[in-house]
Structure 1
Amino acid sequence: MSGSRDVAREPEDLSCLFVERANAGDVAGLVALYEPDAVLATPDGGEVRGEAEIHRFYSDLVASAPRFAAGAQHPALRLGELALTATRLPGGAGATAEVARRQPDGTWRWVLDRPNVT
């Protein structure tokens, strides 16, 4: 991640960074929230793997200029270098579930992401 870009110091930071970057159309910033070999579930029941596929997915998503709102972030459930993050989406639209991992520099990135578990 670039030196001027905010990083997730805690796993709960990832959700806020996602909303900010998605609303700004910052595809590179969205991809930077994930480890290079991360897996992201897609709305059609499929999945995308790795930086290149995640980049393509978010490029397509932000092209339609959706607006995201912050949901109710649950405290992360931690086990060593892993954390389960979850957010209840606004307006009863479901919830997210993600697994984040602490990076060697102490920041957090997602390794698994299911943006809508309902």
Structure 2
Amino acid sequence: MSPVVTDPAELPMLFQDALNSGDVDALLALFAPGAGMRTVSGAHLTGPDALRAELAGTVAAHGRLTNRSRHALVAADTALLVTDWTLEVDAPDGTRIAPTGTTANIARRDADGTWRFLLLNPLGTA
């Protein structure tokens, strides 16, 4: 069951909590139908199967996300969410790395009033 998110500013923390608990289904529930994301490597993914594969890979790499919200700018049924992040993961060679960045994410309010991510861009303006 999808969470009822009535404030788009909650989405980054809900994403953080779901990732840190390893719950790929909870992560996917935060995305609107037809949503997409840009990966930290720059690839653009759309659709639930591609999103699931990307998020499951992060969980499998023992991802630990820390988000710090900067802005939630809302107009009508659209929100721009700017968030600073650090993601600790196990690299393929077994070392632990911790890339950082600033997102520029877009959320949309559904007809039932629930906010979900429409587009995730962890690389912000890069």
Q: TM-score range by the shorter chain?
A: 0.7 to 0.9
Correspondence 1:80 to 2:72:
no
What's the offset of the Cα at 1:39?
1.1
Which secondary structure state, in structure 2, belongs to the residue aligned with residue 89 of structure 1?
A: strand
8 Å CA contact 2:71–2:83 kept in 1: the answer is no
Give the unaligned 5+ runs of structure 2: 87-97
Correspondence 1:55 to 2:52:
yes
Correspondence 1:111 to 2:118:
yes
The residue aligned with 1:37 is 34
Match of residue 11, structure 2, among 14, 31, 37 = 14
User: Number of residues paired by the alignment?
Assistant: 114
Which secondary structure state, in structure 2, belongs to the residue aligned with residue 44 of structure 1?
A: coil
Residues in 2 aligned to 1:35 and 1:19: alpha-carbon distance in whole angstroms? 17
Residues in 2 aligned to 1:45 and 1:70: alpha-carbon distance in whole angstroms? 20
| TM superposition outliers: structure 1 runs of 4+ over 4 Å | none
8 Å CA contact 2:65–2:85 kept in 1: the answer is no
**Identity among equivalent pairs (%):** 33
Query: What TM-score, normalized to structure 2?
Result: 0.82
What's the offset of the Cα at 1:95?
0.6
Query: What TM-score, normalized to structure 1?
Result: 0.87
C-alpha RMSD of matched pairs (Å): 1.9
Give the unaligned 5+ runs of structure 1: none
